[in-house]
């Protein structure tokens, strides 16, 4: 105990050791260096709708609505009610928010939200991509995680595969005609690739 009281510099030397060891900073993946993309001027102002001009579509959902939620959980997260569209069967049906916007549909598969289809020009991805973008703009934002296939009728399908381990079960798929996105969708692998008529 006598020695401990005679080393008053023990505490000061502990402090610099703790504070002078910076945590390593995360390095972004070198897959692509996206150029900031300006979102187009909105064609409509979406303020009172379930999803608005500031909504963000990701590979796992839109805003606070995530794939794997029940329709009830998703309705609460989006502060809306769902209107079932005349489609589907017991295992798969489509819904849209009662308070809009239009041209946005969610697929309910086996009791869970699993896919989102968008044709509305003002609902964009986190990278500000959506209806109207060209294949070069998609590539500029998504880099080598984007694969492009021709559909045979002059159209193209561009599929984004996320690099995060937790998101590898999901995809973002853009459909293009005349080098412009006409619709896109996000959802779980196996469901997001299905033809629209299958539900």
Tell me the per-residue pLDDT of 149-183, one tens digit each, with 9 for 90 and over. Answer: 998 888 999 999 998 877 889 999 999 999 999 99
CA dist 34 and 197 (Å) reads 34
150's CB contacts (< 8 A; 6+ apart) are 156
Q: Find which of 30-39, 48-57, 80-89, 190-199 is predicted with most confidence, using mean pLDDT.
A: 190-199
pTM: 0.76
128, with CB counted inside 10 A (0-12, 13-18, 19+), is middle
What confidence score (pLDDT) does residue 29 get? 46
Mean pLDDT of the chain: 83
Tokens, residue 168:
């590898």
Run of H or E including 82: strand 82-84
CA dist 188 and 130 (Å) reads 19
pLDDT greater than 50 at residue 31: no
Is there a contact between 176 and 155 (Cβ–Cβ < 8 Å)? yes
Per-residue pLDDT band for 49 (boundaries 50, 70, 90) equals: confident
What confidence score (pLDDT) does residue 74 get? 96
Span 52-58, mean pLDDT?
Answer: 91
CA dist 128 and 63 (Å) reads 14
Cα Rg of the chain, angstroms: 23
List, for residues 9-29, the tens digit of each pLDDT value. Answer: 544 445 444 445 555 555 444
pLDDT greater than 50 at residue 75: yes
Is there a contact between 56 and 106 (Cβ–Cβ < 8 Å)? no
Query: Which is more confidently placed, 22 or 102?
Result: 102
pLDDT greater than 60 at residue 134: yes
DSSP three-state, residue 180: strand
CA dist 101 and 171 (Å) reads 23
Give 3-state DSSP helix, strand, coil % of the chain, rounded to 5: 20, 30, 50
Tell me which of 17-21, 113-117, 131-135 is least confident: 17-21
């Amino acid at each position: 105990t006598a020695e401990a009281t005679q080393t008053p510099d023990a505490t000061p030397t502990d402090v610099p050791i703790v504070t002078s060891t910076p945590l390593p900073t995360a390095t972004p993946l070198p897959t692509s260096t996206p150029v900031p993309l300006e979102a187009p001027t909105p064609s409509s102002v979406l303020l009172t709708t379930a999803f608005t001009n500031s909504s963000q579509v990701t590979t796992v959902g839109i805003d606070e609505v995530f794939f794997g939620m029940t329709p009830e959980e998703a309705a609460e997260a989006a502060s809306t009610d769902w209107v079932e569209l005349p489609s589907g069967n017991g295992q798969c049906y489509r819904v849209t928010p009662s308070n809009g916007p239009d041209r946005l549909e969610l697929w309910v598969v086996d009791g869970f939200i699993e896919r989102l289809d968008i044709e509305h020009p003002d609902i964009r991805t986190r990278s500000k991509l959506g209806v109207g973008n060209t294949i070069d703009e998609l590539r500029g934002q998504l880099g080598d995680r984007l694969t492009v296939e021709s559909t045979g009728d002059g159209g193209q399908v561009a599929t984004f595969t996320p690099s995060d381990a937790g998101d590898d079960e999901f995809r973002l798929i853009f459909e293009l005609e005349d080098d412009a996105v006409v619709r896109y969708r996000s959802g779980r692998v196996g469901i997001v690739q299905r033809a629209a008529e299958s539900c």
